[in-house]
A = this chain, B = another copy of it.
Amino acid sequence: MRIVVALGGNALLRRGQALTAENQRENVQIASRALAPLAEAHELVVTHGNGPQVGLLALQEAAYTEVDEYPLDVLVGETMGMIGYMIEQEMGNLLAPDKPLATVLTMVEVDPNDPAFDDPTKFIGPVYSEDVARKNAEEKGWSIKPDGDKWRRVVPSPAPKRIFQIRPIRWLLENGSVVIAAGGGGIPTMYDRAGHLTGVECVIDKDNCSSMLATEIDADVFVVATDVEAVFLDWGAPEQKAIRKASPDMMDAFDFPGGSMGPKVGAAQDFARATGNKAIICSLKDIEAAIRGEAGTTISTSVAELELVPS
């Protein structure tokens, strides 16, 4: 089987943890233990988020004023090197010494006419007081929005249109290599009027990009690994139930929070519809059971009846 696993942000950094190299490495080790059995038995692509890491790089840049800050596309490239390295090294430590692994820098084309550019919505970096946020907005051309009682920078989050490295990723998989790719949703790029590909100040949703990657490399399974065990109905209420199996159309009947579960469900639906194969949303530790249908939420066009599990 060919499997794409999208690692959620918590696989790299748990809530409340300081963003040190040591903490990241410890979490990557935990994630690698969950992924290693998949790498041994299947073709595996690992994708990952990069939100806190991009935020940290931006803060470090802002703190050192001798050189102008680099644009977001370059920072995303940096985080792919940083995180890809840790994942590749720690997975390599768990696999047979001759198992090849490769981290492939991933660039993604977005459409300059994507409506997302008219309405930046994606929070990025730290929170500021309104004053500081407004000052940054003026000086750096940021869009800003309130986040609770604080303010943050927002950037557009357009849809991925094309992933440039699909063929290299396929070739590596065909030769038996574990591939780490599409970190942080990929480096956002677009063609300018002269036909040159350039970077763009935006971020691409990691699950959305991973879903497109899984579709384009003809993955048999697309797994969104997160910190909850499944997609729940009535989440947090006494009557909450986990969705064990659903078709993409059945999932349309429910509302999920836009900032967290919504994009994951959407990405899973897209993959299931485009390929006829199954998408899974589950916790990292349950991936193998979820692939067997015994844990997590499986979304597939072949599901005839909604299956719920009381929790």
Q: Which of B64, B164, B180 contacts A60 (CB 8 A)?
A: B64
Whether B71 and A21, one on each chain, are in contact in the complex, defined by CB atoms closer than 8 angstroms, is: yes
List chain B residues, Cβ under 8 A from A80: 81
Interface size on A, residues (CB 8 A): 55
B81–A77 CB distance below 8 A: yes
Closest B residue by C-beta to A181? B102
Cβ-defined contact, A103 with B105, below 8 A = yes
- What are the interface flags for A51-90 relative to B under an 8 Å C-beta threshold, 1 for contact and 0 otherwise? 0000011011111111110110110011111101110110
CA distance A68 to B23 in the complex (A): 11
The residue on B at minimum CB distance from A56 is B67
7 contacts between A and B (CB under 8 A): A63-B63, A73-B85, A88-B105, A89-B189, A101-B168, A104-B105, A167-B175
Does A306 count as interface, using CB distance less than 8 angstroms? no
Determine whether the beta carbon of A105 is less than 8 Å from that of B102: yes
* Choice from B19, B70, B81 contacting A21 with Cβ under 8 Å: B70
Instruction: Please state if B63 and A100 are interface contacts (CB–CB under 8 Å).
Output: no
**CA gap between A180 and B175 in the complex, in Å:** 19
Minimum CB–CB distance for A185 against chain B, Å: 14
User: Considering residues A61, A70, A84, A180, which has the most beta carbons from chain B within 10 angstroms of its beta carbon?
Assistant: A70
A161-193 near B? 1/0 per residue, CB < 8 Å:
000110110011001010010000001010000
Q: Please, how many angstroms separate the alpha-carbon atoms of A167 and B74 in the complex?
A: 27
Judge if A93 is at the interface, Cβ distance under 8 Å.
yes
**A266 in the interface, Cβ–Cβ < 8 Å?**
no
Question: Chain B: which residue is nearest A75 at the CB level?
Answer: B82
- A199 at the A/B interface (Cβ < 8 Å)? yes
B59, B60, B102, B105: the one contacting A168 at CB < 8 Å is B102
Contacts of A274 in B (CB 8 A): none
Please name all residues of chain B whose beta carbon is closer than 8 Å to the beta carbon of A101 when the two chains form the complex. Answer: 164-165, 168
Is B21 a contact of A74 with CB atoms below 8 Å?
yes
